């Protein structure tokens, strides 16, 4: 039961981190996850969690690095292989020496070998952490490839160096020659195990295909097993499990791809599955870091052996030393490689590589290998080294988060995709031409109009993406304010009897579409408050009205009078919204306020039009799905024309087609008539048909 509870708690924590990171995009997800990990670590459940380094490496780090290897751009990594090789091996050795001697100087009571073990643990950079940071900043491709390649390779060198430092700590002897030979053997052996495992996997797949036993789920399970098998088998043979997992991932991605429906389905399922798995494991990495911070904090912080301020100073100095060593070593390598002239041109890249070398949970997992006892005596400094490692990891992560945006802020940011806009506008124009040939007020005409509205919404979303972050936040706040006024007016109209419960639910359904368009974007604090907290307050203030609506939920017939009442309420709300927006000109600017006022007036005109509600209702019918598929056909046709005319590249065209495929698949899988709102028109039609049938039976 305890295990089940922990699984549920971790699942809730990971989900919460995702939600909070969306609500507060300014704060990086890793920091949110570390914070939640700290909170979890302070609870009874967190205190019961024990950290097993080997289990952590095989169950979390191995699959993450396997996926990183699978996604890695091998060609680009090979182009920068000399730099990657230097950082992955030379950088680790320099860090071991520099950090080890610095710690020995700051805390002389620590054994010399323990200081070097500490330096070795902090040698590897964290590919997982770098990947998390790259999602927030626009790191240049070359620098990103170097950081990714380094993160994939330096774990083996770091762990091997740590093992030799640990052996020196236990036995008191050390051999540099043996360490170097062991490192080479461990790396090459791990690569060989990864290669052989993928080769065996392909043979197994061939046997399955010959037996006509192909199955998407089975193939996916085999792929998911690869990183675990690669790591475990490599460790069994005494070589690097990390290198084995990385090589297996690279070779898995380089396998020959057949263009069949089966392979396409497998690829789609694999990508979606790995996306979820990767996010979950990434979150677990940082949550575990937060938990470990709480577990190693108290024993060290409350111990009077070292001053707390001294410990903080040591963490900061070690962190500074890490970045200094990294900057100096990379600078020396670039000077040796390209000379002073190129060095000046590549200074920004050097700084990005310096601050991109953040440490992560691989370092934490490595330092946890330190034994509790040495030669039968308790190793009291173990908790201190764990505390220092966790502190340095946190500091380097924060520094990387703060420094990288500054170094990459001048990178070009893509604006609105004008080609995508033109494609969508051409589709809208084609649909309008088709609508002109259809009888007015016919179902096909209404369905086509609904499809046009759908495409216009996509066009608006593309325009929205071109806004700056500040402008987006202002737009979201204004939208949330409008929605709040709208709902307050709706509730007041219902309480005063101006709307029936069916009219209220009809209006609410209309508002929910607008609300989803807001919450689909990242909300600010104010937006979140207006959308969520105020709704809770309304329920608290008017519980009777809330539960009354719930009880009468089944009675959802909307009459023509209800629609007329909805129009009246909408008109009244429009006046209130325009009046409120006029008072906000000094806050948000005249241009933005006028945009929303004009947009609201246009929406009111549509609301008052004869076909507005019919267009909404038609979206619940199969005909709407059919017309949406027609729109996707036209969109593909325009994409093909643009590609042939070389207005867009083949890569861009493929991206557009991929999006169309996703929308098409979603549209076909979305059930028609799924809405809980049953409209009066269809209901009355059924009643008339039933009445007519009864009359015919009676006449007979």
Which pLDDT score is estimated for 1?
45
Question: Quick one: angle between helices 501-519 and 543-551, nearest 10?
Answer: 110
Task: Please state which CATH class domain 3-407 belongs to.
Answer: mainly alpha
CA distance 161 to 595: 62
Which stretches in the chain have pLDDT values below 70?
Answer: 1, 25-26, 51, 127-137, 156, 172-176, 179, 255-259, 302-304, 361, 409-417, 465-469, 510, 512-558, 606, 609-617, 670-700
Task: Report the distance separating Cα 158 and Cα 148, nearest Å.
Answer: 16
Alpha-carbon dihedral 562, 568, 574, 576, rounded to 10 degrees = -110
Do 398 and 166 touch, CB atoms closer than 8 A? no
What pLDDT, on a 0 to 100 scale, did the predictor assign at position 232? 92
DSSP-assigned beta bridge partners for residue 374? 377
> How far, in whole angstroms, is CA 228 from its chain's centroid?
24
- Among 619, 655, 615, CA closest to 635: 655
Q: What is the pLDDT at residue 469?
A: 65
Query: Six-digit token pair at 255?
Result: 């396998």
The residues with which 378 forms a beta bridge, in sequence order, are 373
Delimit the CATH 1.20.1530.20 region(s) of the chain.
3-407
Q: How many CB atoms lie within 10 A of CB 371?
A: 12
d(CA 47, CA 624): 55
501-519 vs 469-495: helix crossing angle, rounded to 10: 170
CA distance 317 to 323: 10
Helix segments in 583-679, DSSP class H: 585-588, 590-608, 612-618, 622-644, 650-669
Give the number of other Cβ atoms within 10 Å of residue 492's Cβ: 14
CB atoms within 10 A of CB 365: 25
Whole-number pLDDT of residue 69: 80
What is the radius of gyration, based on Cα positions, of the chain?
31
The tokens 């070359």 sit on which residue? 142
Q: What is the pLDDT of residue 289?
A: 77
pLDDT digits (tens, 9 = 90+) for 467-521: 666 777 777 778 778 888 888 888 888 888 888 877 787 777 767 665 555 544 4
- Hey, is 620 helix, strand or coil? coil
Is the pTM here over 0.75, yes or no? Answer: no
Query: How far is Cα 457 from Cα 449, in angstroms, rounded to an integer?
Result: 12
State CA 691 to chain mean position distance.
Answer: 55
Cα–Cα distance, 518 to 212 (Å, whole number):
49
- What pLDDT, in 10s, does the model give residues 325-364? 999 999 998 888 877 777 777 888 888 888 888 887 678 7
- What the block records as the tokens of 486 is 């709208």
CA distance linking residue 567 with residue 574, whole number of Å:
10
Instruction: Specify the pLDDT at position 383.
Output: 80
What pLDDT does residue 213 have?
A: 80
**Residues paired with residue 373 on neighbouring β-strands, in sequence order:** 378
pLDDT of residue 171: 73
Render the burial of 30-44: b for 16+ CB within 10 Å, e for the rest: bbbbbbbbbbbbeee
Question: 3-state DSSP: the chain helix, strand, coil percent, rounded to 5?
Answer: 80, 0, 20
Distances (CA, A) of 158 to 229, 419, 469: 22, 47, 40
From 119, 83, 78, 89, select the one nearest 101 (Cα to Cα).
119
Q: How far is CA 613 from the centre of its chain?
A: 37
């Amino acid at each position: 039961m305890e295990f089940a509870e922990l699984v549920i708690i971790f699942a809730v924590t990971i989900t919460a981190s995702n939600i909070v990171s969306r609500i507060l995009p300014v704060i990086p997800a890793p920091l949110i996850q570390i914070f939640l990990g700290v909170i979890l670590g302070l609870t009874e459940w967190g205190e019961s969690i024990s950290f097993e380094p080997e289990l952590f490496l095989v169950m979390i780090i191995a699959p993450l690095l396997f996926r990183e290897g699978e996604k890695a751009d091998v060609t680009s990594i090979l182009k920068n292989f000399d730099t990657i090789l230097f950082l992955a091996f030379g950088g680790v050795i320099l860090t071991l020496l520099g950090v080890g001697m610095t710690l020995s100087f700051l805390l002389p009571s620590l054994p010399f070998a323990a200081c070097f073990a500490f330096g070795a643990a902090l040698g590897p950079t964290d590919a997982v952490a770098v990947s998390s940071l790259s999602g927030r900043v626009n790191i240049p491709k070359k620098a990103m490839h170097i950081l990714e390649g380094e993160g994939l390779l330096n774990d083996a060198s770091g762990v091997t160096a740590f093992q030799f430092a640990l052996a020196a700590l236990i036995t008191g002897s050390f051999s540099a020659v043996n360490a170097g030979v062991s490192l080479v053997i461990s790396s090459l052996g791990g690569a060989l195990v990864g290669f052989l495992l993928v080769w065996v996997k392909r043979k197994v797949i061939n046997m399955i295909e010959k037996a006509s036993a192909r199955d998407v789920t089975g193939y996916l399970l085999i792929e998911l097993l690869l990183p675990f098998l690669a790591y475990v088998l490599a460790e069994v043979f005494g070589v690097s499990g990390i290198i084995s997992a990385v090589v297996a991932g690279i070779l898995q991605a380089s396998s020959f791809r057949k263009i069949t429906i089966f392979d396409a389905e497998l690829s789609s399922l694999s990508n979606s599955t790995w996306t979820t798995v990767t996010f979950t494991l990434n979150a677990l990495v940082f949550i575990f870091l937060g938990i470990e911070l709480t577990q190693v904090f108290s024993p060290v912080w409350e111990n009077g052996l070292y001053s707390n301020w001294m410990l903080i100073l040591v963490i900061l100095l070690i962190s500074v030393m890490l970045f200094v060593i990294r900057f100096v070593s990379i600078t020396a390598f670039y000077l040796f490689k390209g000379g002073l002239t190129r060095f000046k041109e590549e200074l920004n890249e050097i700084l990005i590589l310096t601050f991109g070398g953040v440490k992560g949970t691989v370092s934490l997992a490595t330092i946890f290998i330190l034994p509790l006892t040495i030669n039968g005596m308790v190793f009291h400094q173990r908790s201190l080294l764990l505390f220092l490692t966790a502190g340095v990891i946190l500091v380097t992560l924060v520094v990387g988060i703060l420094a990288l945006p500054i170094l990459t802020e001048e990178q070009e940011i893509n604006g609105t995709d004008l080609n995508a806009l033109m494609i969508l506008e051409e589709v809208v124009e084609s649909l309008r031409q088709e609508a002109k040939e259809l009888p007015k007020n016919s179902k096909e005409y209404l369905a086509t109009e609904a499809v046009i509205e759908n495409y216009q919404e996509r066009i608006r979303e593309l325009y929205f993406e071109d806004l700056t972050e500040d402008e987006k936040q202002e737009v979201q706040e204004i939208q949330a304010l409008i929605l709040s006024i709208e709902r307050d007016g709706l509730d007041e109209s219902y309480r005063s009897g101006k709307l029936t419960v069916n009219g209220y639910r009809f209006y609410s359904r209309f508002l929910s579409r607008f609300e989803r368009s807001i919450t689909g974007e990242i909300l600010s604090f104010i937006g979140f408050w207006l959308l969520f907290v105020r709704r809770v307050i309304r329920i608290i203030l008017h519980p009777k009205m809330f539960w009354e609506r719930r009880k009468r939920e089944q009675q959802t017939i909307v009459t023509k009078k209800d629609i007329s009442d909805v129009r009246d309420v909408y008109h009244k709300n429009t006046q209130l919204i325009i009046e409120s927006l006029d008072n906000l000109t000094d806050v948000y600017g005249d241009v933005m306020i006028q945009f929303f006022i004009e947009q609201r007036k246009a929406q009111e005109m549509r609301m008052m039009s004869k076909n507005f509600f019919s267009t909404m209702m038609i979206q619940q019918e199969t005909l709407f799905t059919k017309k949406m598929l027609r729109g996707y056909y036209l969109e593909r046709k325009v994409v093909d024309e643009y590609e042939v005319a070389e207005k867009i590249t083949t890569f861009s065209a493929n991206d557009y087609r991929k999006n169309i495929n996703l929308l098409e698949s979603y549209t076909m899988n979305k059930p028609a008539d799924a809405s809980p709102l049953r409209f009066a028109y269809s209901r009355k039609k059924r009643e008339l048909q039933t009445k007519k049938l009864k009359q015919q039976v009676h006449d007979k």
